[in-house]
Amino acid sequence: MELLRNPIRPYAWGSHTAIAAVQGRRIPTEGPEAELWMGAHPGDPSTVEDGRTLIDVIAEDPERVLGAANVQRFGVRLPFLLKVLAAEAPLSIQAHPDAAQARAGFDDEESEGVPVDATVRNYVDPFHKPELLCAVSEYECLCGFRDPAESAELLSRLNVSALAGTVDLLRQDDPSQALREAVTTVMTVPETLRGPLLDQVVAECAQLAGEGPGGATYAMAASLGKAYPGDIGVLLALLLNHVILQPGEAIYMPAGNAHAYLRGVGVELMAASDNVLRGGLTAKHVDVPELLRVLRYESLAEPRVVAVQVAPGVREWQTPMPEFRLSHASVGGLRDKVVLRNGGPRILLCWSGQVRLDDGVQPLTLLPGQAAFVAADAADSVVATGFGELFQASTA
């Protein structure tokens, strides 16, 4: 078991308190701290105590560290990336490609000679990025398309004549066609018309914000309009499910689902990729044609994933993805030890308390905000004792 040192990404939307508070550092921090990365992604890999990156550790003995089956299936790479996401302001509305789209898009941009760090680059690696987010505070987010008939009703209450055509599109009998045509119409509004249209939309949303039908969603859109004036993402947000997660609730975002995280602190686990196609609420590159090609035009009736109890003190959120599985363990009180089982590589993140972990090779005690890596050749089970809670990221 190796103690990890993990980089923090200072994106502008990040919190000045959340990650530092968990780690016991002084708050507020000088700059925003948005994402704590734990893994072996080339963009910002974790390091072990002797200074080697987790990429180096894996490369020295892939089958020992990852397990032969994982090397055969995913290659010489840790297939998941664990993050703490601390959003003080909204992230961009975005979607991620599926595996085939990611490989084709990456190969195309490589052949065209687009630098991997170019601001106009869509595909920075050849992998997909399905993701799971578990809230550890109240977490507000936009998750997948709402039923188009419901979106039509929501937009029809706005006294904005320019939206009449979009409302009609959303009321078509074929839901997929309704979403495809309505989203395309929204995302291709000419730049010269966007400002006046969005001014009307935001003003109407502010009028309807409150306790009535859709009041919380209208309030959300009005708030986004103040933060991102003239951004078409404000209108796109009205077509998405508006969800407020409570601590312990989780959402799963498969490829092609439009989503945005608006505020809160959560633990996120994903396939190890950084491919993002943005649709708004951002000053970064937005490639509308590519986004429209990648999006899945289907409503997501329930984005939440319910945790399953898998052992005493241990629950996990299961998804169809073989690359990752997120578990949560509570240690202490009536339960003096908790056993976490998994035969592959894993990262353990202590969220609270003081937890001693024993993998049968090298025991380690973690404090809040600290994480450890366990190689595949360790025991199938890690025994946790002490008092607190922790998350385990592993292959499925």
DSSP per-residue letters across 44-84: S--B-TTS-BHHHHHHH-HHHHH-HHHHHHH-SS--EEEEE
Q: Which residues pair with 8 in a beta bridge?
A: 36
The DSSP annotation for 347-382 comes to EEEEEEEEEEEE-SS--EEE-TT-EEEE-TTS-SEE
Partnered with residue 9 across adjacent β-strands are 35
Determine how many CB atoms are found less than 10 A away from the CB of residue 178: 23
Mapped onto helix, strand or coil, the DSSP state of residue 270 is strand
Backbone dihedral angles phi then psi of residue 103, each to the nearest 5 degrees: -65, -45
Sign, CA dihedral 229-235-238-241, equals negative
Q: Which two tokens stand for residue 77?
A: 């790479």
Q: How many CB atoms lie within 10 A of CB 229?
A: 12
Instruction: Examine the residue annotation and report whether 9 is marked as an active-site residue of this protein.
Output: no
Residues 6+ apart with CB under 8 A from 133: 85, 139, 141, 245, 250, 251, 253, 261, 266, 267, 268
DSSP state of 161: G
Judged by DSSP in three states, 93 sits in: strand
Catalytic residue chosen out of the listed positions 146, 180, 263, 278: 278
Report, as residue numbers or ranges, the catalytic residues: 278
